[in-house]
Structure 1
Amino acid sequence: MTAPEITTEEQIELDKALYDALNPLASAIRSRETGQPVDRMWDANPVEVALSVLAAWKVMDAEVRRLAGQAAATAGSYGASYEQLGAVWGITRQGARKKWPDAVTRPASAAGTRTLALFGGSAELVRASSGDWSWEGTGADGTSSAAADGVRYATPEEAAAHAGAFLKEHALDIDGRS
């Protein structure tokens, strides 16, 4: 996938939506700065009004960056590479790695397994050839278990959550008892 281009009509709609989202924020910022009611924002000095609008764009820019980072991390959690993230963003693989350093996780081994160590026990998260995940582990109390037969999870995080619950249930207390 390459960086998307939008049509003129889409650009007009996007601009309208962004301005519609921006105006209440700019008005609120201006109101806080001056103590004036929000509905009087445009009655102020034009330079101050323009600076309030610019301040609101800065807030929106930070939010877009945050949301883009979340989208990159989500894509990475589903297996997207830095090369793919970069292509969509219109930057190099190295640029994507610099922009979102934690977006792409590397599997612990070529076989698609990851180790989870919690509460004194450990579990292996195993990726099936279908791409789904399962787990098997041993709690600190010596109890072994695995995902129920046929149960598969869409993401390693989901498998880790279930394995983690098992490990917590089979942890030892401070005195070494379960």
Structure 2
Amino acid sequence: MTVSGITPEEQAELDKALYDALNPLASAIRSRQTGLPAERMWEASPIEVGLSVLAAWKVMAAEVERLIAHAAATAGSYGASYEQMGAVWGITRQGARKKWPDAVSRPAPAGRRTLALFGGTAALVQAPSGDWSWTGVGADGASSLGSDETYYATAEEAAAHAGAYLKEHALDAVDHS
């Protein structure tokens, strides 16, 4: 049975990619459990190999759930509703709200929105002219007032520029050399 919405070929490619990602992790887990080198993992008993593969899938499942929650928060920060997220996920609006309780923030006052990405935040502000600007603080503590002379025609355009700034100032983007 294939996952809804993808072709059998895409399903086969996805399966291969997942197994390719899983095997080094399963080997590392097995190596830590036995003290044997990772390349000798398959010399263990079938039960031990099977359990190390199961342990690796558990790690991957937790990571996938973390990435799913991040994707939901990103969608919500751009204005997606719980109803929209639920439709994509195949659950109700209430189910989406329960699954990702912090993904959608309460509406900001008219002409002002907040964007939270990559551990930082940005405020999007609409000028009386209708144009938008932004200010932000990255996860690394860097602060930008945007440019007092830079305005964008839409909130989405301002959010894109603010999002790029926040990504640039994410903690994992900092060069530690």
Same fold at TM > 0.5: yes
SS in 1 for 2:31: helix
Q: Which position in structure 1 is the counterpart of 2:50?
A: 50
Using structure 1 for the length normalisation, give the TM-score: 0.67
Q: Is the 8 A contact 2:134 2:159 kept in 1?
A: no
For 2:133, give the aligned amino acid: S
SS in 2 for 1:158: helix
Aligned-residue RMSD, C-alpha: 3.3
Q: Which position in structure 2 is the counterpart of 1:120?
A: none
Answer with 67-76 or 15-24: which moved more: 67-76
Distance 1:12 1:21 in 2: 14
Q: Which position in structure 1 is the counterpart of 2:111?
A: 112
Q: Which position in structure 1 is the counterpart of 2:87?
A: 87
Offset of residue 107 of structure 1: 2.1
Answer with 53-62 or 97-106: which moved more: 97-106
Q: Which position in structure 2 is the counterpart of 1:134?
A: 133
Matched, 1:155 2:159: yes
Give 1 or 2 for the bigger CA radius of gyration. Answer: 1
Q: Which position in structure 2 is the counterpart of 1:21?
A: 21
Offset of residue 12 of structure 1: 0.7
Unmatched 5+ stretches in structure 1: 116-123, 137-144, 162-178
- Matched residues, percent identical? 71
Q: Is the 8 A contact 1:132 1:155 kept in 2?
A: no
Give the aligned length.
Answer: 141
Distance 1:132 1:43 in 2: 65
Offset of residue 4 of structure 1: 5.6
Offset of residue 5 of structure 1: 1.1
SS in 2 for 1:80: coil
Offset of residue 135 of structure 1: 5.8
Distance 1:81 1:55 in 2: 35
1:126–1:4 distance in 2 versus 1, CA, 3 Å = farther
Offset of residue 108 of structure 1: 2.3
1:23–1:146 distance in 2 versus 1, CA, 3 Å = closer
Distance 1:64 1:132 in 2: 38
Q: Is the 8 A contact 1:31 1:38 kept in 2?
A: yes
Q: State the structure with bigger RCO (CA 8 A, min sep 6), 1 or 2.
A: 1
1:150–1:39 distance in 2 versus 1, CA, 3 Å = closer
CA deviation vs aligned residue, 1:123-165 (integer Å, no higher than 9, x gap): x852469x974269xxxxxxxx996244246229939x9xxxx
Offset of residue 105 of structure 1: 1.5
SS in 2 for 1:155: helix
Distance 1:26 1:4 in 2: 28
